[in-house]
Structure 1
Amino acid sequence: MKTLATAATALTLLAGPGLAQSNLEKLGAFKVTGTKEHTFIEQEGPQADSIREVLEGITLPEGFKIELYALVPDARHMAMAPQGTVLFVGTKKSKVWAVMDRDRNRVADEVKDFAPSLELDVPNGVAFSKDGFLFIAERNRVMMYPAAEFFHESPDVVAVPIVPQGDLIPVDEESYNHTARVIKVGPDDKLYISLGQPFNVAPAEKLDLYNEVGIGGMIRMNRDGTGREVYTYGIRNSVGHDFHPETGELWFTDNQVDGMGDDIPPGEINRQTEAGQHFGHPWFGGGTVRTNEYAGEEVPVDVVHPVSETIAHAADLGMSFYTGKMFPEKYKNAIFSAQHGSWNRTEPVGARVMVSFIDADGNVTTEPFAEGWIDENGEYDGRPVDVISMKDGSLLVSDDFANAIYRISYSAE
């Protein structure tokens, strides 16, 4: 396992003599970059008041309530540090935000940018290992930040490129579409990273390359970037995955093909039981619905179909299993997931938090949990992206439209 010492050694070698030092190389040599200031986000004012007004209209099961936790620009995927002192929030732009609740009143009192001395490119995916290493997956790079929970106060931090720029996918395959990577540390202590393919339906001439490098699937690697392999095939664009707390199996959402009509194909929640399974794209557009582009072809692979189909075009994104103790027993090991909301539909759907219950036979039932971010005019007041648990068992929900994070808690009182 890579330690702080070995990480520092790797960075020192990276910043060898004779190189014009970038900020990353300076950090590797434990030098200052000249960056002095963080960007701080004001937490009160008209924007916060407007969001609180919207939240009054969100419906939840009895006993639950939703409140504004933090104002965070472009808030996407989230990772809570192991000791619970700081929340890291990725974006599809160029920032990762560090969110702190210093007085422990369950409302953030400080939001600032993390590692502002570094240039980040779509740093959507954030994940922590249990021993405190932060991993950030960008469009075409994966970075490791040792002890980020404690070193985030400085603009300069230790940073290790475990997958250097340009090595996550071939540079020629870089796209503006489907580039929001999600990264998680699995129960085997390896990194699992989703690589969405950039097309609506992947063309046949790309399939061999994509299968080789893992585009349109998920890759797995050791925490130092070695041992890379393709773990999952046949995904169009997965933007949420997690591991079952008891079985360790990988579960994930998938965004399905656009342009086929309002009601097809369905969105997906999938369950993977072994390495190398194929989940149907591009022969299937979602569920068992065949794509127009491949409709006449025999499917050349064994396909694992979703365990739960969701309403078409709701854009199922971030998900996580609930392992907290605050919620009623029925929610133990249930999946909470975010539906970002539709664009390819005449009547908008989604913009809500869903819950999926798994029975003893593995059957899955998915239903709304928190909804109301689409108003009576069909306009969005919010678009949830990710759902994770806090250490107290409450849920955090990110929203990149409202630029906010919400906290959902429960009380039987």
Structure 2
Amino acid sequence: MKTTLIGAAIWVALALPAVAQSTDVPDNLEKLGNFRTTGTTDFTYVEQDGPYAEGIRKTLERITLPPGFRIGLYAVVPDARHMAVGPQGIATFVGTRKDKVWAVTDRNKDRIADEVKDFAPSLTFAIPNGPCFSKDGFLYIAEQNRVLLFPAAEFFYESPDVAAFSLVPQGELIPPGEESYNHTARVCRIGPDGRIYISLGQPFNVTPRDKLELYREIGIGGIIRMKTDGTGREVYTTGIRNSVGHDFDPATGDLWFTDNQVDGMGDDIPPGEINHQTEMGQHFGYPWYGGGDVRTDDYADEEIPLEEVMPAVETVAHAADLGMTFYTGHMFPEEYHGAIFSAQHGSWNRTEPIGARVMVTRIAEDGSASTEPFAEGWIDANGEYLGRPVDVAQLRDGSLLVSDDMAGALYRIWYDGM
């Protein structure tokens, strides 16, 4: 039996008393969870036309794609990071590393957004980088140290007041003493088992020894999972540095994720990673490995105390592989069906910048994988960044959205065969 959108919100309010209400955050979360108004009446709207948008369109003229593909500006979205496309196809929700979540709507369905406004403006968000949807329309937003739940987000988002609950209360995603300004961009996905998977980047370049046991226990430097009522938390993945993108293979249910590797070892090492996890508890080598089979200086002389899983794909060093999604649409040619599309944000300290592009990774029948550029051109001949892709998401028509937090935009990539 399917739950209606209104019924979903009522179901959470009545059937899930274990979903905690905030008691220590001075915002309106408790009021919204009790279906009370907050007095907030205004949205912040983002202008979608004018010189700024035209400047972005000009940049997109230089982007190269395989034959038959096109790219265009979908929406101007400040600080756009990870995206969650609503299951109803009504709105796309875009996280940031600041204090906004944006709701993006294409009202006339011309495949260009008509409206961008802030979502749940009465709430105070803290690095709401990671939105994700369940198939039945529940929106989850993973913040720096909290996870929020919005039942029926696509129904309520037209109002400043929305049904909202705290799945993981403030200060309980990680210990408050471990909060950092570094590597705090969480991402989430609902897995095929119906649980929510959340990445927890660790804050160091190389984790110090005195943090290893604590981080392994609570899942920092890994991926945790829990039931969608916030109970049953467990550490699913260990031995990663800072994963900011994961998805599940629709054919096998296996988890795949990107990982950003150790800095300061040179321009060309260590490689970035796309990893393939086949069972709970697997360890992916960090901090003994800095990326691929390159040992870190800090742990170079130590015997690795557990069995590690090597990456399925090694990517170019320091390109900063972030968001990713498996392609399940029908618009693109057959060769792209079941492939991974991922965003490379671009290097921050490489002497010659690299990345700033969208990659495609194909998985062979034997499980081996290979990756290559799909959309590129956001670095010009002078080595200047003209954009920095963050995430890739799929619209219902099978086209792709790409977010860019530098340009503050969402791009749409489609195939017309021409």
TM beyond 0.5: yes
For 2:196, give the aligned amino acid: L
Q: Report what 1:206 is aligned to.
A: 211
Cα distance in 2, alignment partners of residues 36 and 12 from structure 1: 30
- Per-residue deviation, 1:161: 0.4
Q: 1:29 to 1:303 in 2, by over 3 A?
A: same
- Per-residue deviation, 1:344: 2.1
Q: Report what 1:72 is aligned to.
A: 77
- Give unpaired runs (5+ residues) of structure 2: none
- Alignment deviations for residues 62-120 of structure 1 (CA, whole Å, 9 cap, x no partner): 00010000000000000110010100000000010000000000000000000000000
- Per-residue deviation, 1:7: 2.0
- Per-residue deviation, 1:30: 1.9
Q: 1:12 to 1:255 in 2, by over 3 A?
A: closer
For 1:409, give the aligned amino acid: W
Cα distance in 1, alignment partners of residues 364 and 280 from structure 2: 24
Q: Report what 2:341 is aligned to.
A: 336
For 2:51, give the aligned amino acid: P
Q: Report what 2:332 is aligned to.
A: 327
1:116 touches 1:155 (CA, 8 Å); kept in 2? yes
Whether 2:23 is the aligned partner of 1:24: answer: no
Cα distance in 1, alignment partners of residues 403 and 30 from structure 2: 33
- Per-residue deviation, 1:21: 8.0
- Give unpaired runs (5+ residues) of structure 1: none
Of 362, 368, 388 in structure 2, the residue corresponding to residue 357 of structure 1 is 362
* TM-score when normalising by structure 1: 0.97
Q: Report what 1:252 is aligned to.
A: 257
Cα distance in 1, alignment partners of residues 270 and 195 from structure 2: 32
Q: 1:279 to 1:34 in 2, by over 3 A?
A: same
Cα distance in 1, alignment partners of residues 27 and 346 from structure 2: 40
Aligned to 1:357, the other structure's residue is in SS state strand
2:120 touches 2:160 (CA, 8 Å); kept in 1? yes
Cα distance in 2, alignment partners of residues 56 and 171 from structure 1: 45
Whether 2:287 is the aligned partner of 1:303: answer: no
For 1:260, give the aligned amino acid: M
Cα distance in 1, alignment partners of residues 167 and 73 from structure 2: 35
Of 33, 36, 42 in structure 2, the residue corresponding to residue 37 of structure 1 is 42
Q: Report what 1:369 is aligned to.
A: 374
Runs of 4+ in 1 over 4 A off after TM superposition: 10-16, 18-22
- Per-residue deviation, 1:3: 4.5
Q: 1:90 to 1:5 in 2, by over 3 A?
A: same
1:219 touches 1:230 (CA, 8 Å); kept in 2? yes
Of 150, 155, 176 in structure 2, the residue corresponding to residue 150 of structure 1 is 155
Aligned to 2:72, the other structure's residue is in SS state strand
- Per-residue deviation, 1:28: 2.1
1:11 touches 1:160 (CA, 8 Å); kept in 2? no
- Alignment deviations for residues 349-393 of structure 1 (CA, whole Å, 9 cap, x no partner): 000000001111111110000000001110000000000111101
- Per-residue deviation, 1:32: 1.2
- Per-residue deviation, 1:11: 7.0
* TM-score when normalising by structure 2: 0.96
1:14 touches 1:25 (CA, 8 Å); kept in 2? no
1:55 touches 1:67 (CA, 8 Å); kept in 2? yes
1:14 touches 1:28 (CA, 8 Å); kept in 2? no
Q: 5 Å matches for 1:195-234?
A: 195-234=200-239
Q: 1:377 to 1:302 in 2, by over 3 A?
A: same
Identity %: 68
- Per-residue deviation, 1:5: 2.7
Aligned length: 412
Q: Report what 2:138 is aligned to.
A: 133
Aligned to 2:199, the other structure's residue is in SS state strand
Q: 1:15 to 1:350 in 2, by over 3 A?
A: closer
For 1:115, give the aligned amino acid: A
Q: Report what 2:269 is aligned to.
A: 264
Q: Report what 1:399 is aligned to.
A: 404
Q: 5 Å matches for 1:84-103?
A: 84-103=89-108
1:11 touches 1:25 (CA, 8 Å); kept in 2? no
Aligned to 1:5, the other structure's residue is in SS state helix
- Per-residue deviation, 1:20: 11
